[in-house]
Chain A
């Protein structure tokens, strides 16, 4: 099955936050009480009950004194996902055939390691200590429907479709580089950035934390190798040198 993705074009976003509302409606998430922080951006961060939000970035440039960037923030649905890599609970975090990074709350053991291993600081925890984040509306896309956010977006700032055709479309529209095309083996949330990703508050080169990669590639196999090696060395010693029989001990 062709991998699906979201293509986010901040230049098309008008900051209406219909996507935030549609997401809450579909996923049955309650509203959160927030305080006025002197910014139109609201809420200030992702929460267990807020899977996606529009970040309002004020970035005046020489040609545009009132430059306001609207960047949709949510799970990036990495193909090589740090959260899945570190997760110790079988089946709690997984990739769907469409490419979404989805989860099963019943199987989540609440260890919160995924929070630390995510390159984008996305996973949150609900009141029962279970993982809570955007799952690309995996229940909708499995039925061929678009995720709620993309479905409701009135300007085309959030588009859903086949990953390859979205990338092609962005390139045809004049975006030389699509953010997330190759990072982490290909992200499921792509961005058409006009400027450097940094301006939009994104990492230039997102990566799984080095300690997690080292653990996965070296420490995990070493657990088996160490145990097997120690047992083998003991048996080898027993055969080669034998036990210390009492009459032999001086």
Chain B
């Protein structure tokens, strides 16, 4: 029983996560290159024109990948109950090792909020990006482009705060978590402590 493993993420989910992460990484470094005219970053891509091509097409990958996350995470993220509130009030136990955390679903309340944030900010940054890129023929185009530029940059700032925290929580802060995005499996005993409701639903 002790070494029994349980599948927490399937191959598609893992692949999709890395597509999202990879495209996000390209978008971020090219984004910083454009924002601050970083010649070293431009040099990696050869020219600002090529860097724009990378930025735009990584945006397509990001958007498609973001769309497919809906099937993995949205339904469960929208179920926000008493136990989720309990997780929030105890800050997930990240500031007190003695805190007793209520049983959680396949993703905990913090992960649910993070996902809803990523979906919201992701749609905002993608929609505004495509607007600037494709520049549809509408009245007052200059005002719409300025609005898109504002939304694109606000969402970018929010991503810059949220994503490092996500990476920290998924690696250093929670040993044993990263393997979910590599092999997709975790020990049942490990999962019971963190996602009790889900493990129970799976029949363990």
Which chain B residue has the least Cβ–Cβ distance from A118?
B142
Q: Mark A60-87, 1 if CB is under 8 A from B, else 0.
A: 0000000000000000000000000010
Q: Is the CB of B36 within 8 A of A214?
A: no
Q: How far is the CB of A183 from chain B (nearest CB, A)?
A: 19
Which chain B residue has the least Cβ–Cβ distance from A88?
B34
Tell me if B145 is interfacial: C-beta within 8 Å of chain A. yes
Q: Mark A184-214, 1 if CB is under 8 A from B, else 0.
A: 0000000000000000000000000101101
Question: When chains A and B are docked, how far (Å) is the Cα of A65 from the Cα of B154?
Answer: 53
Q: How far is the CB of A210 from chain B (nearest CB, A)?
A: 9
Q: How far is the CB of B27 from chain A (nearest CB, A)?
A: 13
Tell me if A229 is interfacial: C-beta within 8 Å of chain B. yes
- List B contacts of A151 (CB < 8 A): none
Which chain B residue has the least Cβ–Cβ distance from A247?
B193
Question: When chains A and B are docked, how far (Å) is the Cα of A116 from the Cα of B132?
Answer: 10
Question: When chains A and B are docked, how far (Å) is the Cα of A110 from the Cα of B56?
Answer: 12
Q: Given the known A-B contacts A220-B36, A223-B35, A243-B173, are A211 and B147 also in contact in the complex, defined by CB atoms under 8 Å?
A: yes
Tell me if B165 is interfacial: C-beta within 8 Å of chain A. yes
Q: Given the known A-B contacts A115-B142, A117-B146, are A88 and B132 also in contact in the complex, defined by CB atoms under 8 Å?
A: no
Binds A, one of B58-66, B67-75, B89-97: B89-97
- List B contacts of A226 (CB < 8 A): 157-158, 160-161
Which chain A residue has the least Cβ–Cβ distance from B101?
A250
Question: When chains A and B are docked, how far (Å) is the Cα of A181 from the Cα of B135?
Answer: 35
Max count, chain B CB within 10 A of own CB: residue among A214, A226, A233: A226
- List A contacts of B97 (CB < 8 A): 241, 244, 248
- List B contacts of A215 (CB < 8 A): 149-150, 153
Range for the number of chain A residues in contact with chain B: 35 or more
- List B contacts of A121 (CB < 8 A): 142
Q: Is the CB of B165 within 8 A of A234?
A: yes
- List A contacts of B49 (CB < 8 A): 89, 109-110
Q: Is the CB of B154 within 8 A of A243?
A: no
Question: When chains A and B are docked, how far (Å) is the Cα of A147 from the Cα of B88?
Answer: 66
- List A contacts of B165 (CB < 8 A): 230, 233-234
From residue 106 to 128 of chain B, which have CB atoms closer than 8 A to chain A?
Answer: none
Q: Is the CB of A250 within 8 A of B164?
A: no
Q: Mark A230-250, 1 if CB is under 8 A from B, else 0.
A: 110110011001011110111
- List A contacts of B150 (CB < 8 A): 211, 214-215, 219
Q: Is the CB of B142 within 8 A of A219?
A: no
Tell me if B179 is interfacial: C-beta within 8 Å of chain A. no
- List A contacts of B37 (CB < 8 A): 88, 90
Q: Given the known A-B contacts A92-B48, A219-B154, A244-B174, are A250 and B100 also in contact in the complex, defined by CB atoms under 8 Å?
A: yes
Q: Is the CB of A238 within 8 A of B172?
A: yes
- List B contacts of A111 (CB < 8 A): 52, 132-133
- A sample of 9 cross-chain residue pairs with beta-carbon separation below 8 angstroms, ordered by A number, consists of A88-B35, A88-B48, A113-B145, A211-B149, A223-B156, A231-B164, A238-B172, A241-B95, A250-B193
Give me the 7 closest cross-chain CB pairs, A-B, nearest first: A88-B34, A234-B168, A230-B164, A116-B145, A90-B37, A226-B160, A226-B161
Residues of A within 8 A of B (CB): 86, 88-90, 92, 107, 109-113, 115-117, 121, 209, 211-212, 214-215, 219-220, 222-223, 226-227, 229-231, 233-234, 237-238, 241, 243-246, 248-250
